[in-house]
Amino acid sequence: EAGVAQSPRYKIIEKRQSVAFWCNPISGHATLYWYQQILGQGPKLLIQFQNNGVVDDSQLPKDRFSAERLKGVDSTLKIQPAKLEDSAVYLCASSFLGYGEKLFFGSGTQLSVL
Amino acid sequence: EDKVVQSPLSLVVHEGDTVTLNCSYEVTNFRSLLWYKQEKKAPTFLFMLTSSGIEKKSGRLSSILDKKELFSILNITATQTGDSAVYLCAVEGSGDDMRFGAGTRLTVKP
């Protein structure tokens, strides 16, 4: 089965610029997650979707981050404007149900903000 | 607030050694604890534990959960250089989201 697809793999931008990441989950997976992983830390959940509805976005910095999952399949995460502290790997994951099961992760997007 | 703490943060061993990685947690309405291996970017699933005292085993890796003392251990026997990675512990609570620890970076030297 195809895995979770993410693009781009790498992105370098200057602070105050905008950036967008794309994720296509495993077919049939209702739940999609965006995690931020800063170097040396564990992944931190930014937002969780169940189909096209938001389940949890309590840790999403909503003044600069936005995410959508139109049609309940693929998703985009946007940062506008970016700050230096946004430099991290952004991981997308999906699962079939959303609870009591493992997550399948994409290869991530490494963002460097200069 | 929910918390997942892993120890040690890093560990350097030689091939053939046995290692034990620790994960302690404080989570509201615990559902499950999962271990992942992260070699480059994408964490890959190792084990999911929901019941105390039942060991999960896969080759040289094994893990067990203690729900009374709120911790889990991941054992790796006869380590190989290919075991070098960051090992992440994640706990799922009542909110259905998965909270990760900071990870243990394992380096296995030849």
pLDDT digits (tens, 9 = 90+) for B22-77: 999 998 889 899 999 999 889 999 999 998 888 999 999 999 999 999 999 999 99
Whether the per-residue pLDDT at B1 is higher than 90: the answer is: no
Whether the per-residue pLDDT at B95 is higher than 80: the answer is: no
Question: Shortest CA distance to B27 belongs to which of B100, B97, B109, B92?
Answer: B92
Chain A residues with CB under 8 Å of B90 CB are: 42
CB contact A99 to B (< 8 Å)? yes
Preferred mutation among B96, B104, B105 to probe A, highest tally of A CBs within 10 A: B96
Q: CB of B90 within 8 A of CB of B23?
A: no
Chain B residues with CB under 8 Å of A41 CB are: 102-103
pLDDT in tens, A95-104: 988 777 889 9
Measured distance CA(A28)–CA(B17) in Å, rounded: 41
Phi and psi, residue A84, nearest 5°: -55, -40
- The Cα of B104 is separated from the nearest Cα of chain A by a number of Å equal to 10
- The Cα of B87 is separated from the nearest Cα of chain A by a number of Å equal to 10
